[in-house]
Amino acid sequence: MKIIYVVLCFCCFVLFSCGNDNSNASESETAETTEQNARISAKTIESINYNDYALSLEGEKAVVTWEKYQELATQISYLKRADFSFFNGEKKMLKEFIDKFIAQLPDELRTNPIISRNAVIETALLKLNEHLTIDNIDRDDKLVSIKELFVAFSNLNYQINKKLERDMYDKIQPE
C-alpha cells in the first residue's frame, strides 16, 4: 500500500514538473524579446523626426578651427549609426570634453544665443550619458535623449548660421 502511495506521489510530481517547463520557456522567450526591444538600432535612430539644420559655407569656415565642434559633429554622425561608444563612456571624460568644447568657442561666435545653445548641448550630452549608462532606463527615454541631443546640435548650427547672416547684412551699407 505504501509503495502505491509513493509511486502515485512521484507520478503527480512528474506531471506538475512538466507543466512548469513550458512556462519557463515562455518566460525566457519574453525576456529575449524584451532585450531585443531594448536595443536601439540605426534604423530606429533614423526614424527620429526633427529639423536638422546644416551649417552654411560661412558657418563651416567659422568653425573650421573649433576642433571640439568637429569632434562632436563626428560623434553625432556615429550616433546616427547607433554607435554609443562616445556617449556611454565615463562621465569624467565627457565633462572634460564639454569644458574644452565651450572653451574653444571662436571669439566671433561668442554671442549669448550661441553660448546658451552650448549650455543646452552640455545638458543633452550629460542626460544622454546618464540614460545610456543606467540599465533601468526605458528604451523610449533613451530615444528621447538622443532626439534632444540632435535638436540641440541642430539649433546650435541654426544659431551659427543666423549670427553669420546678420553679420553679413550689417556689413552692407545703405546708399
> Does residue 63 belong to any structural domain of this protein?
yes
In the prediction, which pLDDT does 40 show?
87
Name the domain count of the chain: 1
In the prediction, which pLDDT does 30 show?
43
Domain housing 98: 39-171
> Does residue 65 belong to any structural domain of this protein?
yes
> Does residue 8 belong to any structural domain of this protein?
no
> Does residue 11 belong to any structural domain of this protein?
no
> Does residue 82 belong to any structural domain of this protein?
yes
> Does residue 103 belong to any structural domain of this protein?
yes
In the prediction, which pLDDT does 3 show?
77
Which long-range CB contacts under 8 A does 60-69 form with residues at least 24 apart? Answer: 62/106, 62/108, 62/109, 62/160, 62/164, 63/106, 63/109, 63/160, 65/106, 66/104, 66/105, 66/106, 66/109, 67/104, 68/97, 68/100, 68/101, 68/104, 69/101, 69/104
> Does residue 165 belong to any structural domain of this protein?
yes
pLDDT tens digits, one per residue of 10-55: 666 666 666 554 444 445 444 444 454 458 899 999 999 999 999 9
CA dihedral 101, 105, 111, 116 (to 10 degrees): 0
Q: What is the CATH number of the domain that holds 46?
A: 1.20.120
> Does residue 14 belong to any structural domain of this protein?
no
pLDDT tens digits, one per residue of 104-161: 999 999 999 999 999 999 999 999 999 999 989 999 999 999 999 999 999 999 999 9
In the prediction, which pLDDT does 118 show?
96
pTM, whole model, 2 decimals? 0.76
